[in-house]
Amino acid sequence: MSYEPRRRPWHEDIEVRGLRHRLSWWGERTGTPIILLHGFLDCGATWQFLVDCLPPSWTCVAPDWRGFGDSDWAPGGYWFPDYLADLEVLLDTLVPQSRARIIGHSMGANVAKMYGGVRPGRLEWLVNLEGMGLAPTAADEAPKRYGQWLDELRQPRREGRYESVAQLAAVLKARNPRLTPERAEFIAGAWSRPFVDGPRESGFAPNGEVRLRFDPSHRLVNPVLYRRDEAQACWARLDAPMLLVTGERSEHRARITDEQLRLLFRDLRTVTVPGAGHMMHHDEPEAVASYIVEFERDCVASAR
Protein backbone atom coordinates (compact mmCIF):
# COMPACT_ATOMS: atom_id res chain seq x y z
CA MET A 1 0.00 0.00 0.00
CA SER A 2 1.41 3.37 -1.02
CA TYR A 3 1.61 6.54 1.04
CA GLU A 4 -1.63 8.55 1.13
CA PRO A 5 -0.94 12.32 0.90
CA ARG A 6 -2.72 14.63 3.33
CA ARG A 7 -2.42 17.57 0.92
CA ARG A 8 -2.91 16.82 -2.77
CA PRO A 9 -0.60 18.75 -5.12
CA TRP A 10 -1.55 20.32 -8.39
CA HIS A 11 0.90 20.79 -11.26
CA GLU A 12 1.81 23.23 -13.97
CA ASP A 13 4.53 23.53 -16.59
CA ILE A 14 6.47 26.73 -17.25
CA GLU A 15 9.32 27.53 -19.58
CA VAL A 16 12.64 28.32 -17.92
CA ARG A 17 15.47 29.33 -20.25
CA GLY A 18 14.13 27.32 -23.16
CA LEU A 19 13.23 24.16 -21.24
CA ARG A 20 9.85 23.07 -19.90
CA HIS A 21 9.92 22.80 -16.10
CA ARG A 22 7.33 20.97 -14.00
CA LEU A 23 6.07 22.68 -10.83
CA SER A 24 4.22 20.89 -8.03
CA TRP A 25 2.05 23.18 -5.91
CA TRP A 26 0.48 22.60 -2.51
CA GLY A 27 -2.10 25.26 -1.68
CA GLU A 28 -3.54 28.26 -3.47
CA ARG A 29 -1.26 30.16 -5.82
CA THR A 30 0.31 33.11 -4.06
CA GLY A 31 3.09 35.57 -4.80
CA THR A 32 5.00 34.47 -1.71
CA PRO A 33 5.16 30.65 -1.76
CA ILE A 34 7.80 28.66 0.05
CA ILE A 35 10.05 27.17 -2.62
CA LEU A 36 11.26 23.59 -2.24
CA LEU A 37 14.42 22.63 -4.14
CA HIS A 38 15.15 18.92 -4.46
CA GLY A 39 18.51 17.20 -4.51
CA PHE A 40 20.45 15.22 -7.11
CA LEU A 41 18.48 12.41 -8.81
CA ASP A 42 15.38 13.35 -6.80
CA CYS A 43 12.30 15.31 -7.93
CA GLY A 44 9.85 17.84 -6.54
CA ALA A 45 7.05 15.34 -5.87
CA THR A 46 8.92 13.64 -3.02
CA TRP A 47 8.66 16.75 -0.85
CA GLN A 48 5.16 15.40 -0.20
CA PHE A 49 6.04 13.88 3.19
CA LEU A 50 7.52 17.14 4.50
CA VAL A 51 4.69 19.27 3.10
CA ASP A 52 2.19 17.05 4.90
CA CYS A 53 3.95 17.89 8.19
CA LEU A 54 4.16 21.66 7.59
CA PRO A 55 1.29 24.04 8.49
CA PRO A 56 -1.57 23.59 6.00
CA SER A 57 -1.77 27.36 5.61
CA TRP A 58 1.64 27.43 3.91
CA THR A 59 1.66 27.46 0.12
CA CYS A 60 4.62 25.46 -1.19
CA VAL A 61 5.90 24.97 -4.72
CA ALA A 62 8.55 22.48 -5.85
CA PRO A 63 10.15 22.69 -9.30
CA ASP A 64 11.78 19.71 -10.97
CA TRP A 65 15.28 20.83 -11.94
CA ARG A 66 16.22 20.47 -15.61
CA GLY A 67 16.79 16.82 -16.47
CA PHE A 68 14.91 15.49 -13.43
CA GLY A 69 11.34 14.42 -12.77
CA ASP A 70 8.96 15.72 -15.43
CA SER A 71 11.11 18.64 -16.60
CA ASP A 72 12.79 18.65 -20.01
CA TRP A 73 16.20 17.11 -20.56
CA ALA A 74 18.99 19.46 -21.66
CA PRO A 75 20.53 18.27 -24.95
CA GLY A 76 23.83 20.04 -24.22
CA GLY A 77 24.43 18.41 -20.85
CA TYR A 78 24.30 19.76 -17.31
CA TRP A 79 26.52 22.38 -15.71
CA PHE A 80 26.15 23.79 -12.22
CA PRO A 81 25.91 27.48 -13.26
CA ASP A 82 22.79 26.59 -15.27
CA TYR A 83 20.99 25.81 -12.02
CA LEU A 84 21.85 29.26 -10.67
CA ALA A 85 20.41 30.84 -13.80
CA ASP A 86 17.33 28.59 -13.66
CA LEU A 87 16.75 29.54 -10.03
CA GLU A 88 16.93 33.22 -10.85
CA VAL A 89 14.20 32.82 -13.47
CA LEU A 90 12.11 30.71 -11.08
CA LEU A 91 12.37 33.31 -8.32
CA ASP A 92 11.54 36.16 -10.70
CA THR A 93 8.48 34.18 -11.80
CA LEU A 94 7.27 32.81 -8.46
CA VAL A 95 8.23 35.57 -5.99
CA PRO A 96 8.76 38.67 -8.14
CA GLN A 97 7.86 41.25 -5.48
CA SER A 98 9.48 39.87 -2.33
CA ARG A 99 12.43 37.99 -0.93
CA ALA A 100 12.25 34.24 -1.35
CA ARG A 101 11.86 31.65 1.39
CA ILE A 102 13.60 28.46 0.36
CA ILE A 103 13.88 24.93 1.72
CA GLY A 104 16.54 22.99 -0.17
CA HIS A 105 17.97 19.52 0.10
CA SER A 106 21.55 18.57 -0.85
CA MET A 107 22.14 19.83 -4.42
CA GLY A 108 19.10 22.10 -4.20
CA ALA A 109 20.39 23.62 -0.97
CA ASN A 110 23.84 24.10 -2.50
CA VAL A 111 22.31 25.95 -5.45
CA ALA A 112 20.26 28.18 -3.15
CA LYS A 113 23.14 28.83 -0.77
CA MET A 114 25.47 29.89 -3.58
CA TYR A 115 22.77 31.92 -5.30
CA GLY A 116 22.04 33.75 -2.04
CA GLY A 117 25.68 34.85 -1.93
CA VAL A 118 25.76 35.85 -5.59
CA ARG A 119 22.52 37.82 -5.14
CA PRO A 120 22.57 39.17 -1.58
CA GLY A 121 19.19 40.49 -0.52
CA ARG A 122 17.20 38.08 -2.69
CA LEU A 123 16.44 35.51 0.03
CA GLU A 124 14.39 36.06 3.18
CA TRP A 125 15.58 32.81 4.77
CA LEU A 126 17.04 29.47 3.78
CA VAL A 127 16.54 26.04 5.31
CA ASN A 128 19.51 23.94 4.24
CA LEU A 129 19.02 20.18 4.49
CA GLU A 130 22.61 18.98 4.22
CA GLY A 131 23.75 21.13 1.32
CA MET A 132 27.37 20.85 2.48
CA GLY A 133 29.20 21.29 -0.82
CA LEU A 134 31.54 18.74 -2.35
CA ALA A 135 34.96 17.71 -1.15
CA PRO A 136 37.86 19.97 -2.26
CA THR A 137 39.78 18.97 -5.39
CA ALA A 138 43.40 19.55 -6.46
CA ALA A 139 44.52 20.91 -9.82
CA ASP A 140 46.56 17.82 -10.63
CA GLU A 141 43.30 15.80 -10.72
CA ALA A 142 42.22 17.61 -13.89
CA PRO A 143 43.91 15.46 -16.59
CA LYS A 144 42.45 12.24 -15.23
CA ARG A 145 39.01 13.79 -14.79
CA TYR A 146 38.91 15.14 -18.34
CA GLY A 147 40.06 11.79 -19.67
CA GLN A 148 37.35 9.96 -17.71
CA TRP A 149 34.72 12.33 -19.08
CA LEU A 150 35.90 11.83 -22.67
CA ASP A 151 35.82 8.06 -22.19
CA GLU A 152 32.30 8.16 -20.76
CA LEU A 153 31.05 10.26 -23.68
CA ARG A 154 31.91 7.35 -25.99
CA GLN A 155 29.63 5.00 -24.09
CA PRO A 156 25.86 4.77 -24.73
CA ARG A 157 23.62 6.27 -22.06
CA ARG A 158 21.79 3.56 -20.17
CA GLU A 159 18.55 4.33 -18.42
CA GLY A 160 17.90 2.78 -15.04
CA ARG A 161 15.25 0.08 -15.59
CA TYR A 162 13.29 -2.06 -13.14
CA GLU A 163 10.76 -4.83 -13.54
CA SER A 164 8.13 -2.84 -11.66
CA VAL A 165 7.52 0.01 -9.24
CA ALA A 166 7.45 -2.61 -6.48
CA GLN A 167 10.94 -3.82 -7.36
CA LEU A 168 12.28 -0.25 -7.35
CA ALA A 169 10.59 0.36 -4.00
CA ALA A 170 12.30 -2.72 -2.58
CA VAL A 171 15.67 -1.42 -3.79
CA LEU A 172 15.04 1.98 -2.18
CA LYS A 173 13.99 0.33 1.07
CA ALA A 174 17.16 -1.78 1.09
CA ARG A 175 19.32 1.30 0.52
CA ASN A 176 17.54 3.30 3.21
CA PRO A 177 16.05 1.01 5.88
CA ARG A 178 14.62 4.06 7.66
CA LEU A 179 11.99 4.42 4.91
CA THR A 180 8.57 2.98 5.60
CA PRO A 181 7.29 0.59 2.87
CA GLU A 182 4.55 3.11 2.02
CA ARG A 183 7.02 5.95 1.52
CA ALA A 184 9.39 3.75 -0.47
CA GLU A 185 6.57 2.87 -2.86
CA PHE A 186 5.55 6.53 -3.18
CA ILE A 187 9.12 7.59 -4.00
CA ALA A 188 9.50 4.73 -6.48
CA GLY A 189 6.39 5.93 -8.29
CA ALA A 190 7.63 9.52 -8.34
CA TRP A 191 11.06 8.55 -9.59
CA SER A 192 9.93 6.28 -12.43
CA ARG A 193 7.68 6.13 -15.49
CA PRO A 194 6.55 3.21 -17.67
CA PHE A 195 9.43 2.04 -19.83
CA VAL A 196 8.94 2.55 -23.55
CA ASP A 197 11.38 1.28 -26.16
CA GLY A 198 11.30 4.41 -28.27
CA PRO A 199 10.29 8.05 -27.69
CA ARG A 200 9.61 8.46 -23.98
CA GLU A 201 6.20 10.09 -24.57
CA SER A 202 4.75 7.27 -26.69
CA GLY A 203 3.57 3.69 -26.38
CA PHE A 204 2.98 1.42 -23.42
CA ALA A 205 5.31 -0.39 -21.07
CA PRO A 206 5.52 -4.17 -21.38
CA ASN A 207 4.81 -6.16 -18.23
CA GLY A 208 4.85 -3.15 -15.92
CA GLU A 209 8.54 -2.38 -16.53
CA VAL A 210 9.60 1.14 -15.45
CA ARG A 211 12.57 3.40 -15.99
CA LEU A 212 13.97 6.20 -13.86
CA ARG A 213 12.75 9.65 -14.84
CA PHE A 214 16.07 11.52 -14.72
CA ASP A 215 18.26 12.01 -17.76
CA PRO A 216 21.00 9.33 -17.71
CA SER A 217 23.47 12.03 -18.80
CA HIS A 218 23.52 13.08 -15.14
CA ARG A 219 25.61 9.95 -14.54
CA LEU A 220 28.51 11.40 -16.53
CA VAL A 221 31.42 12.56 -14.40
CA ASN A 222 31.77 16.34 -14.28
CA PRO A 223 34.96 17.28 -16.16
CA VAL A 224 35.15 20.60 -14.30
CA LEU A 225 36.76 20.21 -10.88
CA TYR A 226 34.82 21.47 -7.87
CA ARG A 227 36.46 24.63 -6.54
CA ARG A 228 35.39 24.71 -2.92
CA ASP A 229 37.23 27.96 -2.14
CA GLU A 230 35.17 29.72 -4.83
CA ALA A 231 31.96 28.21 -3.50
CA GLN A 232 32.79 29.32 0.04
CA ALA A 233 33.51 32.85 -1.17
CA CYS A 234 29.92 32.93 -2.45
CA TRP A 235 28.50 31.37 0.72
CA ALA A 236 30.18 34.04 2.85
CA ARG A 237 28.11 36.75 1.14
CA LEU A 238 24.79 35.14 2.07
CA ASP A 239 22.95 37.72 4.19
CA ALA A 240 19.77 35.76 4.93
CA PRO A 241 19.26 33.66 8.07
CA MET A 242 20.08 30.02 7.39
CA LEU A 243 19.01 26.92 9.29
CA LEU A 244 21.37 24.01 8.61
CA VAL A 245 19.70 20.67 9.30
CA THR A 246 21.86 17.56 9.44
CA GLY A 247 21.05 13.90 9.98
CA GLU A 248 22.54 12.11 12.96
CA ARG A 249 23.39 9.07 10.82
CA SER A 250 24.54 10.97 7.73
CA GLU A 251 28.16 11.07 6.62
CA HIS A 252 27.73 14.44 4.86
CA ARG A 253 28.04 16.49 8.05
CA ALA A 254 31.78 15.68 8.22
CA ARG A 255 32.45 17.82 5.13
CA ILE A 256 32.55 21.03 7.16
CA THR A 257 33.50 21.82 10.74
CA ASP A 258 31.62 23.95 13.25
CA GLU A 259 34.48 26.47 13.20
CA GLN A 260 34.25 26.79 9.41
CA LEU A 261 30.49 27.24 9.64
CA ARG A 262 30.85 30.07 12.16
CA LEU A 263 33.41 31.81 9.95
CA LEU A 264 31.40 31.43 6.74
CA PHE A 265 27.85 32.37 7.66
CA ARG A 266 26.61 35.57 9.26
CA ASP A 267 23.29 34.30 10.62
CA LEU A 268 23.42 30.54 11.12
CA ARG A 269 21.52 28.08 13.26
CA THR A 270 22.20 24.35 13.26
CA VAL A 271 20.16 21.35 14.36
CA THR A 272 20.65 17.60 14.06
CA VAL A 273 17.74 15.23 13.47
CA PRO A 274 18.08 12.15 15.71
CA GLY A 275 18.18 8.88 13.78
CA ALA A 276 17.98 10.56 10.36
CA GLY A 277 20.18 9.97 7.34
CA HIS A 278 20.94 12.24 4.40
CA MET A 279 17.40 11.82 2.99
CA MET A 280 15.91 13.21 6.18
CA HIS A 281 12.86 14.74 4.47
CA HIS A 282 11.96 11.20 3.38
CA ASP A 283 12.59 9.25 6.58
CA GLU A 284 12.03 11.83 9.38
CA PRO A 285 9.74 14.53 7.90
CA GLU A 286 7.89 15.19 11.17
CA ALA A 287 11.08 16.13 13.01
CA VAL A 288 12.43 18.18 10.10
CA ALA A 289 9.14 20.07 9.84
CA SER A 290 9.17 20.94 13.55
CA TYR A 291 12.60 22.58 13.22
CA ILE A 292 11.51 24.50 10.12
CA VAL A 293 8.34 25.84 11.77
CA GLU A 294 10.32 27.03 14.80
CA PHE A 295 12.93 28.67 12.56
CA GLU A 296 10.30 30.44 10.49
CA ARG A 297 8.60 31.70 13.64
CA ASP A 298 11.89 33.08 14.94
CA CYS A 299 12.60 34.81 11.61
CA VAL A 300 9.21 36.49 11.65
CA ALA A 301 9.71 37.63 15.24
CA SER A 302 13.19 39.06 14.59
CA ALA A 303 11.92 40.98 11.54
CA ARG A 304 9.38 42.93 13.61
pLDDT at 200: 46
Decide if 187 is inside a domain. Answer: no
One DSSP character per residue, 63-116 reads EPPTTSTTSPPPTT---HHHHHHHHHHHHHHHSTTS-EEEEEETHHHHHHHHHH
Domain extent for 34: 10-156+215-303
Decide if 33 is inside a domain. Answer: yes
Residue 27's CATH number: 3.40.50.1820
Non-local CB neighbours of 200 within 8 Å, separated by 6+ positions:
193
**What is the rounded distance in angstroms from the CA atom of residue 188 to the CA atom of residue 173?**
10
Decide if 189 is inside a domain. Answer: no
Decide if 87 is inside a domain. Answer: yes
**What is the rounded distance in angstroms from the CA atom of residue 82 to the CA atom of residue 103?**
19
Decide if 204 is inside a domain. Answer: no
Q: Name the domain count of the chain.
A: 1
Decide if 198 is inside a domain. Answer: no
Which H or E run contains 127?
strand 123-129
Decide if 173 is inside a domain. Answer: no
Decide if 241 is inside a domain. Answer: yes
The tens place of each residue's pLDDT in the chain, 304 residues long, gives 689 999 999 999 999 999 999 999 999 999 999 999 999 999 999 999 999 999 999 999 999 999 999 999 999 999 999 999 999 999 999 999 999 999 999 999 999 999 999 999 999 999 999 999 998 999 999 999 999 999 999 998 888 899 999 999 999 999 999 999 999 999 999 999 998 655 444 444 456 899 999 999 999 999 999 999 999 999 999 999 999 999 999 988 777 777 888 888 989 999 999 999 999 999 999 999 999 999 999 999 988 7
